[in-house]
Amino acid sequence: MNNAKNMFPTEELQRRNAAHHVQPFSANTELGKKGARVISNAEGVFITDTDGNQLLDAMAGLWCVNIGYGRKELADVAARQMSELPYYNTFFRTTHLPVIELSERLARLAPDDLNHVFYGSSGSEANDTNIRLVRQYWALKGKPSKQVIISRRNAYHGSTMGGASLGGMTYMHSQGGLPIPDIHHIEQPDWWSCGGAQTPEEFGKSTAKKLEDAIDFLGENRVAAFIAEPIQGAGGVIVPPATYWPEIQRICDDHEILMIVDEVICGFGRTGNWFGSQTLDIRPDIMTIAKGLSSGYQPIAGSIISDAVADVIGMDEFNHGYTYSSHPVAAAVANENVRILEEEGIVENVRKTIAPYLKDKWLTLADHPMVGEAKVVGMMGSVALTPNKDTRAPFNGEAGKVGLICREHCFEANLIMRAVGDRMVISPPLIISEEEIDLLLERASIALDKTFAYVKLHGLM
Ligand SMILES: *Cc1c(COP(=O)(O)O)cnc(C)c1O
């Protein structure tokens, strides 16, 4: 199937790769010695490497290939747009049809009065835009002291200086002098790791209350916005207790701050609705979108802003933009992707059929002796690995080691699952079938059993 594209021996490609390619989030010297897995092509929910292995991609790339691989319509739209208008900017009183159509579609799909879109090429860029947007908003409202953005520990909001600062990943902050000033982090609603003796309900509420404490501590006159993912993705698919978001919403309503909801993973059907905000009943002033917006077929992202925010921002020149803001090819491909998600009823099918099916199966993993909690919302799920379900204890030895061992066993079983510490997470393409979910679970169980055997043998329990 992949032979046409596999013209070089894998080892040769690995050697050439290591010689000149610096890879993200990798220890490149070590990676170069081991050799990277070379991916040649993909179809549906499967990716194929140059050794001919077919892996079930339970991560949809990086949480983004919502529509699945191999949709030729998207390639056709890109080719057509490239020959008509491959590029033009939107800085100097110019615009074009692809971005007009995409913006209309997004305004229609986004909840409430979220009707205006500013574009970038990545979720990180969009969150950088959001920092500028909310600070400029308050400056224009005559409250320039409102500068601080409150975020959460273990949040992921991107990898630029702004995005990584908003994020709450300490291992990212430890390199490059982050965070930038006026970003404040509060506790995350991760009951499994941080809940102690509280019930999930108590913990959800008390953790949300930390937002109010932070606003009081910093002074409401200094706080511009709160930013959060509806469900933390890269942080380990942390599903907050049901009491969390209502309390957060109340606090944002009671105080004069903007709510930025980072929908980069949760958007475009991932949770069974168009946006995670709808699933969790959140009312954002600004939403960050990327990933599923184009199903990863083109780099495109955006900030969808409310009428009220757009009115204020529109009062003055916004000194901000990227060469590739509103890129016509990316916009055309995103528009086609969202059209397909809509017209084929993919999001509806997730909500009504495929997510309930996944939930039934995924929750059975909690019966495994090494699985503590199993969580799933829509098409994102996680399991927490533990030697003791009752105490929620960590393994002996380094945190995250067992997760990595499990990830390797997944690869061996031709399954791509990601490890976040000692949690295993999934976020498969939304078009995954019931049979493919069965296969995913079969392979995940094999990997868990092998990991369990390893853990016992090596005294990590
Ligand atoms: C991936 C991600 C980002 C960053 O997007 P990039 O396109 O990688 O810059 C931001 N927020 C969330 C929630 C993400 O998952």
List the chain domain ranges. 37-70+346-457, 73-343
pLDDT tier at 461, thresholds 50, 70, 90: confident
Atom of ligand 1 nearest to the CA of 62: 1
Does residue 83 surpass a pLDDT of 50?
yes
Q: Is 347 in the pocket of ligand 1 (CB under 6 A)?
A: no
Which pLDDT does position 158 carry in this prediction? 98
| 403 close to 423: Cβ distance less than 8 angstroms | yes
Place of tokens 């995924």: 362
Strand order in the sheet with 39-43: 39-43, 46-49, 54-57, 415-416
| 354 close to 394: Cβ distance less than 8 angstroms | no
Q: What are the tens digits of pLDDT across the range 355-382?
A: 999 999 999 999 999 999 999 999 999 9
Q: Ligand 1 centroid vs 372 CA: distance in angstroms?
A: 27
Which pLDDT does position 5 carry in this prediction? 58
pTM above 0.85, yes or no: yes
Q: Ligand 1 centroid vs 425 CA: distance in angstroms?
A: 16
Other residues' Cβ atoms within 10 Å of the Cβ of residue 69: 21
Q: Mean pLDDT score of the chain, rounded to an integer? A: 97
Atom of ligand 1 nearest to the CA of 160: 9
| Both tokens assigned to 443 | 């392979």
Q: Ligand 1 centroid vs 127 CA: distance in angstroms?
A: 9
Q: How many CA atoms lie within 13 A of 233 on its CB side?
A: 28
Does residue 46 surpass a pLDDT of 60?
yes
Does residue 8 surpass a pLDDT of 60?
yes
What is the share, in percent, of the chain residues with pLDDT greater than 90?
A: 98
Q: What are the tens digits of pLDDT across the range 333-348?
A: 999 999 999 999 999 9
Q: Is 124 in the pocket of ligand 1 (CB under 6 A)?
A: yes
Q: Which of 264, 275, 277 to mutate to test the pocket of ligand 1 (most atoms within 8 A of CB)?
A: 264
Q: Ligand 1 centroid vs 269 CA: distance in angstroms?
A: 16
State whether CATH 3.40.640.10 applies to domain 73-343: yes
Atom of ligand 1 nearest to the CA of 64: 1
Q: Is 380 in the pocket of ligand 1 (CB under 6 A)?
A: no
Which pLDDT does position 7 carry in this prediction? 84
Which pLDDT does position 1 carry in this prediction? 46
Which pLDDT does position 4 carry in this prediction? 45
| 286 close to 226: Cβ distance less than 8 angstroms | no
Pick from 415, 401, 424: nearest CA to 446: 415
Q: What are the tens digits of pLDDT across the range 167-207?
A: 999 999 999 999 999 999 999 999 999 999 999 999 999 99
Q: Which of 25, 166, 265 to mutate to test the pocket of ligand 1 (most atoms within 8 A of CB)?
A: 265
**Domain spanning 37-70+346-457: which CATH class is it, in words?**
alpha beta
Pick from 193, 191, 262, 259: nearest CA to 231: 262
Torsion of CA 56, 61, 65, 68, to 10 degrees: -20
Q: Is 265 in the pocket of ligand 1 (CB under 6 A)?
A: yes
Q: Is 120 in the pocket of ligand 1 (CB under 6 A)?
A: no
Average of per-residue pLDDT across 387-400? 94
Q: Ligand 1 centroid vs 130 CA: distance in angstroms?
A: 13
Q: Is 168 in the pocket of ligand 1 (CB under 6 A)?
A: no
Q: Ligand 1 centroid vs 264 CA: distance in angstroms?
A: 6
| 431 close to 45: Cβ distance less than 8 angstroms | yes
Residues contacting residue 294 through CB under 8 Å, at least 6 positions apart = 64, 300, 330, 333, 334, 337
In degrees rounded to 5, what are phi and psi of residue 456?
-65, -45
Which pLDDT does position 119 carry in this prediction? 98
What is the share, in percent, of the chain residues with pLDDT greater than 70?
A: 99
Q: What are the tens digits of pLDDT across the range 257-290?
A: 999 999 999 999 999 999 999 999 999 999 999 9
Q: Which of 62, 169, 291, 300 to mutate to test the pocket of ligand 1 (most atoms within 8 A of CB)?
A: 291
Does residue 241 surpass a pLDDT of 70?
yes
Q: Is 436 in the pocket of ligand 1 (CB under 6 A)?
A: no
pLDDT tier at 6, thresholds 50, 70, 90: low
